[in-house]
Chain A
Amino acid sequence: DAKTTQPPSMDCAEGRAANLPCNHSTISGNEYVYWYRQIHSQGPQYIIHGLKNNETNEMASLIITEDRKSSTLILPHATLRDTAVYYCIVSRIDKLIFGTGTRLQVFP
């Protein structure tokens, strides 16, 4: 599975959009981009995933570059409850290998 690179931490003001970047330059054609988050002492929570096209659901938007070498997760209106570690994972199979993720801190 392709390796991902994420900034270790980010801050975001409550109510503003949080844009979390992820680099996955070695992604192969049949690998999906997944985003999960983990709030302290809980199991990870699925956010969104995509293959080539941009995706949007009730939680977030996923923007994937045309060459698929990077992506951005967008939380349109961050709240304090969005404070968590966000993991970007690329995989073609069910087995997900987690990297170190980005610790997002939303402040009032």
Chain B
Amino acid sequence: GAVVSQHPSRVICKSGTSVKIECRSLDFQATTMFWYRQFPKQSLMLMATSNEGSKATYEQGVEKDKFLINHASLTLSTLTVTSAHPEDSSFYICSAPGTRATGELFFGEGSRLTVL
């Protein structure tokens, strides 16, 4: 099946710094990718839809200037958490639709961000 890879899997940063998370589709092209956030013991929350070659679409309540998304190629989307604070500590997961037309998503392994 299709593979989506995220990097880094874990990152620890100081408050006020920015952190970039990469999401790659390894064996297929993805014009669209989705970014989710998951806090402990909670479900996944969709943050934004990343669109290759155009601006990302953010879900209600998600600050676009805080969470910068860039989808510069058909295999790479990046999420940058700017001026990170401890409340941004979370599990960030990306996904991309497979080649089948029925909307199956392939998920990355997730990136755990800890802001000190």
Contacts and interface: CB of A to CB of B under 8 A. Distances in A.
Interface of A: 32, 34, 36, 38, 41-46, 49, 51, 87, 91-101
Interface of B: 1, 4, 6, 32, 34, 36, 43-46, 49, 91, 93, 95, 97, 102-110, 112
Q: Which of B1, B46, B93, B107 has the most CB of A within 10 A?
A: B107
Contacts of A99: 43
Contacts of A44: 44, 93, 95, 105, 107
Contacts of A101: 43
B103 A94 contact: yes
Nearest to B30: A94
Contacts of A95: 34, 46, 49
A6 to B, nearest CB: 11
A98 to B, nearest CB: 4
A32 B102 contact: yes
**Taking chain A's interface residues, is the majority helix, strand, or loop, or is none over half, making it mixed?**
loop
A100 B44 CA distance: 8
Given A49-B104, A95-B34, A43 B43 contact: no
Given A41-B112, A94-B97, A46 B106 contact: yes
A14 to B, nearest CB: 25
A32 B93 CA distance: 22
Contacts of B110: 41-43
Given A43-B95, A94-B105, 5 more contacts: A41-B112, A44-B105, A92-B103, A94-B32, A94-B34
A83 to B, nearest CB: 15
